């Protein structure tokens, strides 16, 4: 009910010495002021390939950024044997391997660049997420990401073990 209500709060001061206003959602504001509520904020779920070195590097950075927001983002490693897409809005392992998927706090599934925008916003990098969705930039990012997503297994040295079924970690 309150998810669409915006409120302003003062946050420091702007460059001109005037108070800076920041819009926050009501549930976040309630939580910050310590008011009790039986409703917990929904968690954003980031589905990532834990066997992809590029993906893992980015996820570790995002986990570092959200260290002060415990429970806000749930990073789900789809490469683990227990991954069940039915628990994540029907996003199967195969779908998640094709491109990035994020399930936002409204339980909406985002794919590709919109998934990155939702993920960055959830860890406090909303400015980056908004810039990725900016119309002059978005087509270039969509094309670039499509090329990366199509080739990431080959580029990260995992093409052979991922030709059928689930990818397996190489044993040496």
State whether 26 and 63 are in the same domain: no
State whether 58 and 126 are in the same domain: yes
DSSP 15-30: TTSSEEEEEEEHHHHH
State whether 36 and 48 are in the same domain: no
State whether 100 and 71 are in the same domain: yes
Q: What is the pLDDT of residue 43?
A: 87
Q: What is the pLDDT of residue 160?
A: 62
Q: What is the pLDDT of residue 137?
A: 96
State whether 9 and 63 are in the same domain: no
State whether 9 and 49 are in the same domain: no
State whether 17 and 80 are in the same domain: no
State whether 29 and 49 are in the same domain: no
List Cα–Cα distances, 70 to 64, 101, 127, 131, 142, in angstroms: 11, 20, 21, 25, 30
State whether 27 and 51 are in the same domain: no
Residue 124 structural domain:
44-162
The answer to whether position 171 is within a domain reads no
Separation of first and last alpha carbons in the chain? 53
* Total structural domains within the chain: 2
Q: What is the pLDDT of residue 166?
A: 64
Q: What is the pLDDT of residue 12?
A: 40
Q: What is the pLDDT of residue 87?
A: 94
In tens digits, the chain (172 residues) has pLDDT values of: 333 333 333 334 333 444 433 333 333 333 333 344 444 555 899 999 999 999 999 999 999 988 877 778 999 999 999 999 999 999 999 999 999 999 999 999 999 999 999 999 999 899 999 999 999 999 999 999 999 999 988 888 876 666 555 665 544 4
State whether 115 and 134 are in the same domain: yes
């Amino acid at each position: 009910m309150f998810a669409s209500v915006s409120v302003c709060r003062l946050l420091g001061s702007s460059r001109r010495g005037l108070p800076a206003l920041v819009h926050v959602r009501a549930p976040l504001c309630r939580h910050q002021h310590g008011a009790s509520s039986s409703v917990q904020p929904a968690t954003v779920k980031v589905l990532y390939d834990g066997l992809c070195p590029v993906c893992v590097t980015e996820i570790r950075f995002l986990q570092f950024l959200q260290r002060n927001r415990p429970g806000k983002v749930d990073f789900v490693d789809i490469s683990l044997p227990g991954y069940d897409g039915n628990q994540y809005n029907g996003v199967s392992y195969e779908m998640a391997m094709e491109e990035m998927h994020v399930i936002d706090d409204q339980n909406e599934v985002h794919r590709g660049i919109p998934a990155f925008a939702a993920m960055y916003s959830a860890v406090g990098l909303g400015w980056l997420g908004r810039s990725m969705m900016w119309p002059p930039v978005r087509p270039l990012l969509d094309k670039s990401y499509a090329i990366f997503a199509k080739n990431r297994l080959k580029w990260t040295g995992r093409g052979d073990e991922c030709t059928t079924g689930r990818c397996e970690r190489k044993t040496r």
